[in-house]
């Protein structure tokens, strides 16, 4: 099964992708995690991505598209994967369509996590205190929410037209949200 978890920063996509992995053995592919690892290791990719990430801007499409194209062809993705934080722009979504067509696979569902802005800010500030992510500061959080509205929200209609969009309200306990995800994807 191939899934996309779509939603603003702090919507719980990563947490739910990890639960999905434990339950169904379907790998989580988080472009944010891959980029953070590259920044941590100081690779060329990391050096290229860091300034965008710290400001809460998107890393250029060509960079993240290249990452995804490679990653989804690795053997552990054969059984399926959850894309967490990709695509984030229409250009990325179109590139993904091309990659999937080439590989002869399809997206089954796009799960859209809806969470009110006030709740997102509260969660992200909480995560900043716990995990110390350098982009979980008030300035970057504000920018990331705006970037989501400008660049990523248009994907909702993009996938609605393809009839694979499922909505869930991403509030409540982690288990409650996991049950909602299970209900809409049927797994
Ligand atoms: P995330 O962990 O998904 O919130 O991503 C953290 C940061 O990584 C984002 O604010 C972007 O700077 C960058 N990033 C992650 N995924 C993407 C993507 N699909 N396109 C562009 N930038 C991304």
Has residue 184 been placed in a domain?
A: no
Has residue 187 been placed in a domain?
A: no
* pLDDT value, residue 122: 93
123 is catalytic: no
Alpha carbon of residue 24 to chain centroid: 18
Alpha carbon of residue 167 to chain centroid: 15
Report, as ranges of residue numbers, the positions in the chain whose pLDDT lies below 50.
Answer: none
Say how many domains are in the chain: 1
Has residue 61 been placed in a domain?
A: yes
- Supply the pTM of this predicted model: 0.96
In our burial notation (b when 16+ CB lie closer than 10 A, e otherwise), range 130-159 reads eeeeebbeeebbeebbebbeebbeebbebb
* pLDDT value, residue 96: 98
Pick the catalytic residue from 36, 50, 71, 88.
88
* pLDDT value, residue 129: 81
* pLDDT value, residue 134: 81
* pLDDT value, residue 130: 87
Ligand 1 touching residue 7 (CB < 6 A):
no
* pLDDT value, residue 131: 84
Nearest residue by C-alpha to atom 14 in ligand 1 = 32
**Residue-number span of the structural domain to which 38 is assigned:** 2-178
């Amino acid at each position: 099964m191939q899934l996309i978890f779509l939603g603003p920063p702090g919507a719980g996509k990563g947490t739910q992708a990890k639960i999905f992995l434990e339950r169904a053995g379907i790998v989580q592919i988080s472009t944010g995690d891959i980029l953070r690892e590259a920044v941590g290791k100081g690779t060329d990719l990391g050096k290229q991505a860091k300034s965008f990430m710290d400001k809460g801007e998107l890393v250029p499409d060509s960079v993240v598209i290249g990452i995804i194209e490679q990653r989804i062809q690795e053997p552990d993705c054969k059984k399926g994967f959850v894309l967490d934080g990709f695509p984030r722009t229409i250009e990325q979504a179109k590139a993904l369509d091309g990659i999937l067509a080439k590989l002869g696979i399809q997206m089954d569902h796009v799960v859209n996590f809806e969470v009110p802005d006030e709740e997102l800010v509260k969660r992200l500030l909480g995560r900043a205190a716990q995990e110390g992510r350098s982009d979980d500061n008030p300035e970057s959080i504000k920018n990331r929410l705006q970037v989501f509205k400008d660049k990523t929200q248009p994907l909702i209609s993009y996938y609605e037209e393809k009839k694979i969009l499922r909505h869930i309200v991403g509030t409540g306990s982690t288990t409650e949200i996991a049950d909602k995800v299970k209900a809409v994807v049927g797994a």
